[in-house]
């Protein structure tokens, strides 16, 4: 009894490598999206650091309760004070509370051997991120110290300078690296689609020979490439989201840097970028093959 040997299915001549195109686009957009996530979380971290920048406003020892309330109202009306909702981010710390906090942190009660509490009542005033350069902070300090009942306004000047300088440097580095990465991704996707369409070059020539117009020839290729690009973008988004949730579960407090609007915008851009890159890369490749002579096609 003769058994039929299984025949290996031959690859159709001129078949389009769908899988490799989608996988390549997915990988490229995933890398680009990962860097986008880094940018989002870095920007959020910088914003958190800036939101916690504060000026310590020490009051004179003769300041009465009514004067203290008036000073707080005056500070709250200043445009440089950060807001949380409609409330100014100002915290009052009495000298008794400050002494108690010091005792808890060090285990020592300095009032026992000094015989008095040398500390002063103070306000901790959070400053808006738009008013945190060195020149503005110097003017803010002078403005606060001109308020009646205020002894001194203090902030860590070296820390402010360090934050501003490092933010600028990191910003330039990230922008430069992102431009290089975008260029690499565009070239990678363009070459992938160009190589994929190489197997379709004779089909394109055959359509030309039977009198098909350029628009008729290009339409199905462009539509397919756009769909593949968006599909690659969708896969990249799924992997990115899964990786993000995994990172949040592993790294403590990382989720506090989550920015919903920025992440949604990034995902939308990845989807759009996949479709547009697929469209324009295919458009360039088809035009090239349509202009080539028959000898150059071989």
Please give the pLDDT value at position 205: 74
Token couple for 8: 């290996």
CA distances from 32 to 27, 261, 281 (A): 9, 18, 18
Res 10: pLDDT: 46
Q: How far apart are the C-alpha atoms of 81 and 75, rounded to whole Å?
A: 7
Quick one: angle between helices 18-51 and 214-250, nearest 10? 50
Backbone angles phi, psi at 109, to 5 degrees: -110, 95
> In angstroms, what CA-CA distances link 227 with 148, 196, 218, 238?
68, 15, 14, 17
**Pairwise CA distance, residues 20 & 258, whole Å:** 33
pLDDT at 115: 67
Q: Which fold has domain 54-154?
A: Alpha-Beta Plaits (3.30.70)
Residue 163 tokens, joined: 């934050």
In 112-244, DSSP assigns E strands to 122-126, 150-154
Model pLDDT, residue 298? 58
Domain(s) labelled CATH 3.30.70.3040 in the chain stretch across 54-154
Q: Specify the pLDDT at position 235.
A: 95
**Can you tell me whether residue 203 is helix, strand or coil?**
helix
Torsion of CA 142, 146, 152, 153, to 10 degrees: -40
The pLDDT tens digits along the chain (298 residues) read: 445 544 444 444 456 677 888 888 899 899 899 989 988 888 888 777 777 788 999 999 888 889 999 999 999 999 999 888 888 999 999 888 888 887 787 777 766 666 677 888 999 999 988 888 888 888 999 999 999 999 999 987 766 677 767 777 777 888 888 888 888 888 888 888 887 777 777 777 778 778 777 788 788 888 988 999 999 999 999 999 999 999 888 888 888 888 899 999 999 999 999 999 889 888 888 887 777 665 555 5
- Asked if 57 and 125 touch (Cβ cutoff 8 Å), the reply is yes
The C-alpha atoms of residue 110 and residue 113 are separated, in whole angstroms, by 6
> Would strands 87-88 and 122-126 be described as parallel, antiparallel, or unpaired?
unpaired
Residue 191, both tokens = 């070459």
Rounded distance, CA 121 to CA 96, Å?
Answer: 8
250: which residues sit within 8 A by CB, 6+ positions away? Answer: none
pTM of structure: 0.69
At 13 the pLDDT is 42
18 sits in which H/E element: helix 18-51
* C-alpha closest to that of 196 among 219, 229, 230, 240: 229
Q: Is 140 exposed, middle or buried (0-12, 13-18, 19+ CB in 10 A)?
A: buried
């Amino acid at each position: 009894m003769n058994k039929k040997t299984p025949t290996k299915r031959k690859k159709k001549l001129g078949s389009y490598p769908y899988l490799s195109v989608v996988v390549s686009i997915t990988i490229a957009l995933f890398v680009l999206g990962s860097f986008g996530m880094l940018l989002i979380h870095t920007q959020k971290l910088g914003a958190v650091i800036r939101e916690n920048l504060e000026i310590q406003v020490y009051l004179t020892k003769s300041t009465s309760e009514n004067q203290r309330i008036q000073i707080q109202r005056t500070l709250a009306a200043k445009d440089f004070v950060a807001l949380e909702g409609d409330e100014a981010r100002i915290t009052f710390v009495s000298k008794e509370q400050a002494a108690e906090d010091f005792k808890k942190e060090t285990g020592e009660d300095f009032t026992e051997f000094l015989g008095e509490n040398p500390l002063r009542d103070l306000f901790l005033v959070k400053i808006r991120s738009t008013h945190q350069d060195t020149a503005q902070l110097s003017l803010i300090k002078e403005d606060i110290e001109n308020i009646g009942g205020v002894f001194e306004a203090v902030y860590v000047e070296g820390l402010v300078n360090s934050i501003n300088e490092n933010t600028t440097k990191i910003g330039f580095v990230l922008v430069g690296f992102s431009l290089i990465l975008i260029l690499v991704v565009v070239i990678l996707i363009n070459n992938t689609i160009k190589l994929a369409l190489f197997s379709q070059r004779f089909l394109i020539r055959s359509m030309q020979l039977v009198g098909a117009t350029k628009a008729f020839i290009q339409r199905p290729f462009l539509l397919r490439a756009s769909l593949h690009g968006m599909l690659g973008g969708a896969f990249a988004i799924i992997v990115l989201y899964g990786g993000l949730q995994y990172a949040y579960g592993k790294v403590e407090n990382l989720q506090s840097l989550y920015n919903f609007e920025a992440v949604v915008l990034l995902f939308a851009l990845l989807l759009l970028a996949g479709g547009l890159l697929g469209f324009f890369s295919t458009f360039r490749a088809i035009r090239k093959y349509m202009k080539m002579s028959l000898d150059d096609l071989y």
